[in-house]
């Protein structure tokens, strides 16, 4: 088959296929394995029981992100369980010869933030990590899967995974985004249009003028939430933007190897006549800043819209709308703008990068955090934190009344002490608004872009960021 008629997923899949299995699945070689402290300890324990070594330790990299406190990271950590998990990761990595990025390394951060910034994530790679949002790495044209603990064991032991080849849906985002509309709004609009299960069985290939004009950091945000639309992975074809981002990064190829790699990476992009299992299109000109109002990321609307009426929804969706309204204590037909918040969280692997902090700081410098709001800014990595401090963003946030924290997942999943309390309503730049996601079983999450979170923090309520930055 001509490379012009094949899409990136087909090319990468075939290159990494060890063999087709009798059931129709593929034994797929995994180029890069990223691990962290939460889903790896059991996998290492299983390996020990089976007396198996880590097959390719040089293809595995580790960081600590989920449990790490963002206020005081002195060892031993105050939380005994967190300390135990961190110690286990250190021991496992030392035993297996795996490079680990602890806070002492200066390279620590959320696994999906450090992979790209260190140049570990490269086009055409197959990547696996025991975390749902591994789809992030597809921003470079990698095929990246979130996996469970037993699959982490399999990759450690064999560097392979057994997977069914997904179908490919091309999602074209045409036009151009208006001021105050960000990558987060694009992916929320896609999930709203296609549903949280719309991507089941698919890889999402994002393209079109809006995607192609995005920076790498914006692309990472889009690919990050592919999983929230049900897709197995999401990717964007490698181009000058993604290749230039990688040039000179610590783990990117150098010299002649760089030239060879670039030529290979370019050849992996979907051909001009590539076939897809499905193609959908979205008009980027029409997008507004988005806000989730319910209990899954598909339950979102433009900040200038009113909450959907249950009676107008398709019959199969009505029960979930009613459940969402009951949990969120919001009323159908009301505007989402003006909804009060008590907590604001800027961070996570979706929106904890330097460009996110710059946009949020632009808004933060227009006012003061509302007196009843607790507002946190948590950089996605130590490198992001250093860059932000060099630019004085930390001072802007502090002066506006935000707490400036150390790098980690923080209140995205609240496995560390950063948690909602009771029924608190949180404007969050993270990726999941599931019940209990931010640490309180009754806490409520409104997902939005970092700039929108900053605007909500200052006004104390959901606010159209376009009013603040115009």
Shortest distance in whole angstroms from residue 131 CB to ligand SF4: 5
Q: CB 431 → ligand SF4: shortest distance, Å? A: 5
Q: What is the dihedral of CA 123, 128, 134, 139, to 10 degrees?
A: 10
Q: How far is the CB of 348 from ligand SF4 (least distance, A)?
A: 4
Q: Pick one of 37, 117, 131, 342: the residue that binds ligand SF4 (CB under 6 A).
A: 131
Q: Candidates 59, 133, 153, 353: give the one binding ligand SF4 (CB under 6 A).
A: 133
C-beta neighbour count of 259 within 10 angstroms: 11
Our CB check for ligand SF4 shows the closer of 225 and 336 to be 225
Q: How far is the CB of 65 from ligand SF4 (least distance, A)?
A: 6
Is position 67 an interface residue for ligand SF4 (rule: CB under 6 A)? no
Q: Which is nearer to ligand SF4, 118 or 261 (CB)?
A: 118
Task: Tell me how far, at minimum, the Cβ of 188 lies from ligand SF4, in Å.
Answer: 15
Specify the residue, 12 or 413, whose C-beta has the smaller distance to ligand SF4.
Answer: 413
Residues 29-58 that bind ligand SF4 (CB under 6 A): none
CB of 136 to ligand SF4, least distance (A): 8
Nearer to ligand SF4, 115 or 238 (CB): 115
Contact with ligand SF4 (CB under 6 A) among 66, 107, 192, 405: 66
Of residues 99-118, which lie at the interface with ligand SF4 (CB under 6 A)?
110-112
Contact positions with ligand SF4 (CB under 6 A) in 143-172: none
* 413 vs 458 by CB, closer to ligand SF4: 413
Could you tell me how many residues of this chain bind ligand SF4 (CB under 6 A)? 14
Which string of b and e fits 435-454 if b means at least 16 CB within 10 Å? bebbbbeebbbbbbbbbbbb
Q: How far is the CB of 177 from ligand SF4 (least distance, A)?
A: 24
- 436-465: which residues touch ligand SF4 (CB under 6 A)? none
Residue 400-439 contact track with ligand SF4, rule CB under 6 A, x = bound? ---------x--xx----------------xx--------
Nearer to ligand SF4, 31 or 115 (CB): 115
Q: In the complex with ligand SF4, which residue's Cβ is closer, 96 or 349?
A: 349
Cα torsion through 381, 431, 413, 439, rounded to 10:
140
For 114-132, b where at least 16 C-beta lie within 10 A, e where not — what string?
Answer: bbbbbbbbbbbbbbbbbbb
By CB under 6 A, tell whether 348 contacts ligand SF4.
Answer: yes
Q: Minimum Å distance from CB 116 to ligand SF4?
A: 13
Residue 190 or 269: which CB sits closer to ligand SF4? 190
Write down the least CB distance from residue 351 to ligand SF4, Å.
9
Q: Does 292 engage in binding with ligand SF4 (CB under 6 A)?
A: no
Residue 110 CB, shortest distance to ligand SF4, in Å, is 5
Residues near ligand SF4 (CB under 6 A): 65-66, 110-112, 131, 133, 348-349, 409, 412-413, 430-431
């Amino acid at each position: 088959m001509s490379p012009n008629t094949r899409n990136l997923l087909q090319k990468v899949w075939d290159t990494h296929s060890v063999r087709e299995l009798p059931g129709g699945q593929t034994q797929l070689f995994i180029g890069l394995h990223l691990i962290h402290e939460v889903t790896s300890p059991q996998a290492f324990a299983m390996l020990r029981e089976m007396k198996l070594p880590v097959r390719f330790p040089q293809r595995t990299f580790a960081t600590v992100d989920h449990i790490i406190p963002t206020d005081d990271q002195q060892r031993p950590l105050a939380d005994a369980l967190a300390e135990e998990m961190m110690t286990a990761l250190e021991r496992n990595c030392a035993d297996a010869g795996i490079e680990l990025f602890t806070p002492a390394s200066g390279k620590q951060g959320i696994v999906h933030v450090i992979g790209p910034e260190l140049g570990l994530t490269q086009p055409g790679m197959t990547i696996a990590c025991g975390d749902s949002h591994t789809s992030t790495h597809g921003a470079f044209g990698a095929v990246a899967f979130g996996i469970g603990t037993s699959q982490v064991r399999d990759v450690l032991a064999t560097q392979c995974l057994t997977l069914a080849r997904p179908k490919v849906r091309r999602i074209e985002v045409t036009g151009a985004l208006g001021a105050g509309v960000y990558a987060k709004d694009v992916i929320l609009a896609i999930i709203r249009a296609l549903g949280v299960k719309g991507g089941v069985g698919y890889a999402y290939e994002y393209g079109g003028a809006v995607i192609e004009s995005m920076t790498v950091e914006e692309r990472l945000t889009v690919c990050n939430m592919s999983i929230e639309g049900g897709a197995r992975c999401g990717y964007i074809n490698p181009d000058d933007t993604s290749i230039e981002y990688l040039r000179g990064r610590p783990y990117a190829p150098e010299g002649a190897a760089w030239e060879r790699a670039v030529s290979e990476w370019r050849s992996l992009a979907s051909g001009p006549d590539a076939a897809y299992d499905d193609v959908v299109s979205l008009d980027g000109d029409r997008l507004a800043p988005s806000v989730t109002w319910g209990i899954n990321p598909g339950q979102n609307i433009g900040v200038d819209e009113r909450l959907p009426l249950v009676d107008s929804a398709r019959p199969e969706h009505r029960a979930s709308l009613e459940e969402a309204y009951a949990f969120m204590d919001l009323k159908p037909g009301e505007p989402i703008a003006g909804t009060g918040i008590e907590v604001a969280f800027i961070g996570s692997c979706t929106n904890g990068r330097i460009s996110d902090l710059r946009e949020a700081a632009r808004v933060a410098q227009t006012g003061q955090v509302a007196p009843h709001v607790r507002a946190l800014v948590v950089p996605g990595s130590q490198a992001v934190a250093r860059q932000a401090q060099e630019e004085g963003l930390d001072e802007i946030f502090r002066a506006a009344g935000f707490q400036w924290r150390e790098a980690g997942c923080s209140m995205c999943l609240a496995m560390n002490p950063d948690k909602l309390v009771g029924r608190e309503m949180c404007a969050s730049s993270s990726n999941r608004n599931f019940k209990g996601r931010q640490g309180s079983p009754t806490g409520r999450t409104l997902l939005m872009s970092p700039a929108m979170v900053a605007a909500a923090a200052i006004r104390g309520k959901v606010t159209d960021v376009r009013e603040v930055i115009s």
